[in-house]
Structure 1
């Protein structure tokens, strides 16, 4: 059976992250979140989620670096 991973890149998304996580419900087997330097409550919200694997990534001014890092953290198909 396939395992579905979702990779998200965040920065200061406290207003939206819970809505996003709620909208996917039980459709995803693994949620990988790569944060690029939030200074609001985004990290606090994510740390309370039992199904989220949270990683910190220093922003390099290149979205593809963050995207590739996030994809490399995923274990799903």
Structure 2
């Protein structure tokens, strides 16, 4: 086994996921090999982006971007 750990980026596409996004983010951030979690809010009509930002664990690994038009 190699002494270097693989690093991965987790991308979470979300639309109207305010109810479930905190658990998804927390799960991803718990994994030691995760270097970055990127949430892409696909023009939600709820507060998905705000809820996602609030789920930040302070490690600097969470990025949240919001699309104004559903893609």
Sort the TM-score into its range (normalised by shorter chain): 0.5 to 0.7
TM-score w.r.t. the length of structure 1 is 0.63
- State the 4+ residue runs in structure 1 displaced beyond 3 angstroms: none
Task: Give structure 2 stretches of 5+ with no counterpart.
Answer: none
Task: Give structure 1 stretches of 5+ with no counterpart.
Answer: 61-77
| Aligned-pair Cα RMSD in Å | 1.8
Look at both structures and tell me which one has the larger radius of gyration over its CA atoms: 2
Q: Secondary structure at the match of 1:59?
A: coil
State how many pairs are aligned.
60
Decide which structure has greater helix share.
1
Greater RCO (Cα-Cα under 8 Å, separation 6 or more): 1
